[in-house]
A and B are shown apart, each in its own frame.
Chain A
Amino acid sequence: MAIYDIKEAKPAPINNRGIIFWLRKNLFSDIKNSLLSVFCIYFLYLTVPPALDWLFFSATWSGSQEDIVNDGARWIFIIEKFDQFIYGFYPEALHWRPLFVAALTVAFIASVKLLKNIKLKIIIILLYPFVSIVFIHGGLFGLETVETNKWGGLMLTVIVAAVGIIASFPIGILLALGRQSDMPIVKTLCVGFIEFVRGVPLITILFMASVVLPLFFHDGIDFDKLLRALIGITLFQAAYIAEVVRGGLQAIPKGQYEASESLGLSYWQGMILIILPQALKISIPNLVGSFISLFKDTTLVLIIGLFDILAMVTLTNSDSNWLGYEVEGYVFVTFIYWVFCFSMSQYSKSVERRFNTELK
C-alpha cells in the first residue's frame, strides 16, 4: 500500500522559438525535405517576380493605346470597357439603377442583421426583391423599361447566381424532406425529380428552357428568355441542394426526432425548430460549395444568348479598335470570379463559427 501526495500543476516546457528553429523544423528537417524546399523556392523565384512585374510594375494603368511603352499588362483596356463588363448593354444613362440596387442590397443585409423587430424584418424581406426588380427592369412608377436582353456583364452574373441560390434553397429543402417522407407518392416524385435533374448537364436544361419549352406555348404567352433560364437554373440547383440537405438530415441522430416527437411537436414544428437548424448547420460547407459552383456555372447562360461577364469580355475582344487584349480581359474576369467565390467561402466559415454550439 502506498499513498501519494497531490502534485502541483507545472507549466509546459518552453518550445524553441525563432526563425532558425522554425526553418529547420518545417523546411529543412532532413535531406529529402531540404531538396524539396530548395526546389519549391527556386520555382517560386522563376514564376512570382515575372508575374508581379507583368501585373503591376510594367503595367500600363492610364492613358490611351499610344502611351503603351512597357510590355506589361495593359489595364487601360479594362478601364475603357469597364462599364460594359459590369452592365452589359444596359443603357448608359440608366447605370445608376443597378448601382442603386447594389447599394440597396448592402442596406438590406445590414438592416436584416441589425433590426430587432421581426414584423419589420419580414416586410423588408418581402419588399426587397420587388423593389430590386422594379429598379432594374423598370416599367413601373415612370421608370423606363429595360428589356432583359439588354442586361449583361457582372450584373447579369450576380442576378442569375443570386436568384438561383435564393430560390433553389427552399425548394431544395422541401425536396430533401420529400425524399425522406413516408408518403409514397411525394417520395417518388421527389426522388424522380432529383435523380432526373442530377442525371443531365446544366447546358441541357438551359437548352431545354430556351429552345424546347417555347414549343409548348402558343405564340402569345412566350415568356422572357432570362426568366426561363432562371427557372432552369433554380430547378437544377434545387436538386443538388436537396442532396446536400439530405446528407445533413441523415447525420441527425434518431433520438433528436424522437425527442421532438415525444414533446408533442408536430412534424413541421419539429423540422423547423429542431431538425433543420442542426442539419443545415452540418451542411454549410457543402451548401456553400454547391453555391460556389453555381456562381461559376452561371456563365453557361452564354450558350442561350445571354451575355454574362465572361461573354462580355469575349465580345469586347472583337472590337476592331481593341484587338489582342484577351489576356488582360480574362485575367480581370478570373479576378472577379475569385473575389466573389472567395468571399462566399469566407462568409460560410464565419457562419459556421457563429452556429457552433458543439464546442468541439
Chain B
Amino acid sequence: MSTNEFMIRMENVNKWYGDFHVLKDVNLNVKKGEKVVICGPSGSGKSTTIRCLNHLEKFQQGKIFIGETELIEDVKIVRHIRSKVGMVFQHFNLFPHLSVLENLVIAPTWVHKKPRKEAIETAMYYLDRVKISDQANKYPNQLSGGQQQRVAVARCLCFNPEIMLFDEPTSALDPEMVSEVLDVMVELADEGITMICVTHEMGFAKKVADRVIFMDGGQIIEENEPHTFFEQPESDRLKLFLDQILSH
C-alpha cells in the first residue's frame, strides 16, 4: 500500500512533559475518509495524541504527516496544516465577545482571505446544517451547551477542513443534549470527511467508526473494527476498561 493513501500518518511519536512520558511510540495511520474513535481511561494520552496533529501540543520524537506535509515547527507549515484540520473541543471554546455568526466568519475571512459576504453565506449554510441558523445573531453564552457545541462544529466546517478532530465533544454536556451533537457528527461522518474522535460514547463508536483504538498509559494497546473491538477484546486492560464503562 502506498503511503500517500493516508491522510494522517504518525510515526513513532514520543512526547514528554518534563520527565513524564505521555506518548510512547504512537503509530497511527488514517486513510482519507476513515473514521477513527479513540477511547481509554483519563490520562491515557488520547487527547494529547490528537492535539499533536494540529500542533496544539509539541512532540519531541517521531514524525507526523498530514496529507503530504510533514508537521514541523515552522510557523507557515503549522498554519497551513491548521487550515486543513478542524478541531472541536470539550468546552466548545467559542469566542464569547463575538456573535455566533462572527464566530463562524472569523477564520474564513482572516485565514482563508474569503470576501466577507461569501463567508457570511457559507456560515449561514452551515448554521442551517446544524439547525441553529435562527440563533446566528445571539452571543454564545445565550445558547445551551448542545447548541454551542453545534456552533463549534459549524465554525470548523466553514473553512472546509479535510480532517476533523473531536476532543471529547460531548463530555461537558448535560445528558439530554448529547444526542443532538452526536447526530450532527453522524451526519458529518456520512459525508466522508476524515474524522478522529476521542469519546466515551460507545454507541457512536459502534455506529460510525471504521476503527476503534484503545489507549492506556500513553500507548496504543489495541485497535480493531468496532464489532470485534467490543465483542472480542483481546487485551486484559481493554476487557477491564469495557467492563467498567459498560457495567451500568
Contacts and interface: CB of A to CB of B under 8 A. Distances in A.
B66 to A, nearest CB: 13
A359 B140 CA distance: 10
B97 A265 contact: no
A273 B93 contact: no
B97 A278 contact: yes
A255 B155 CA distance: 15
Interface stretch (B5-13, B82-90, B228-236): B82-90
A273 B110 contact: yes
Contact of B106 (A253, A273, A357): A273
B56 interface: yes
A277 B112 CA distance: 22
21 contacts: A255-B89, A259-B89, A259-B93, A259-B94, A259-B95, A262-B54, A262-B85, A263-B106, A263-B107, A263-B159, A264-B112, A265-B106, A273-B106, A281-B97, A357-B96, A357-B97, A357-B141, A358-B96, A359-B139, A359-B141, A359-B142
A264 B77 CA distance: 11
Interface string A254-267: 01101111111110
Interface residues of A, number: 22
A281 B85 CA distance: 31
A264 B97 contact: no
A82 interface: no
B111 interface: yes
A273 to B, nearest CB: 6
B180 to A, nearest CB: 21
Interface in B132-175: 139, 141-142, 155-156, 159
Contacts of A261: 56, 82
Nearest to B76: A266
A357 B111 CA distance: 25
Contacts of A344: none
A334 interface: no
Interface string A232-269: 00000000000000000000010110111111111001
B58 to A, nearest CB: 12
Contacts of B131: none
A358 B141 CA distance: 6
A265 B107 contact: yes
A355 interface: yes
Nearest to A277: B97
Nearest to B165: A262
A261 B107 CA distance: 10
A263 B91 contact: no
A262 B110 contact: no
Contacts of B87: 262
Contacts of B79: 264, 266
Contacts, number: 65
Interface of A: 253, 255-256, 258-266, 269, 273-274, 277-278, 281, 355, 357-359
**Lowest 4 CB-CB distances: which A-B pairs, in order?**
A259-B93, A255-B93, A263-B107, A264-B82
A358 B83 CA distance: 29
Contacts of A273: 106, 110
**For this complex, into which size category does the number of interface residues on chain B fall?**
20 to 34
Given A255-B89, A359-B142, A262 B95 contact: no
Contacts of A260: 95
A281 B91 CA distance: 22
A116 to B, nearest CB: 15
Task: Pick from A260, A262, A263, A355 the residue with the most CB of B within 10 Å.
Answer: A263
Contact of A274 (B54, B95, B111): B95
A250 B50 CA distance: 26
A281 B139 CA distance: 16
Task: Pick from B91, B107, B111, B141 the residue with the most CB of A within 10 Å.
Answer: B107
Contacts of A265: 106-107, 110-111
Contacts of B91: 253, 255
Contacts of A277: 97
A356 to B, nearest CB: 10
A270 to B, nearest CB: 9
B199 to A, nearest CB: 18
Interface in B93-131: 93-98, 106-107, 110-112
B95 A256 contact: yes
B214 to A, nearest CB: 25
Nearest to A273: B106
Given A255-B93, A263-B106, A269-B110, A357 B139 contact: yes
B99 to A, nearest CB: 8
A281 B98 CA distance: 13
Nearest to A258: B56
A358 B98 CA distance: 10
A265 B78 CA distance: 11
B82 A262 contact: yes
Contacts of A359: 139, 141-142
Interface in B67-84: 75, 79, 82-83
A111 to B, nearest CB: 24
B97 A263 contact: no
Contacts of A258: 56, 89, 93
Contacts of B107: 263-265
Given A281-B97, A357-B139, 4 more contacts: A255-B91, A255-B93, A260-B95, A359-B141
A355 B111 contact: no
B90 to A, nearest CB: 9
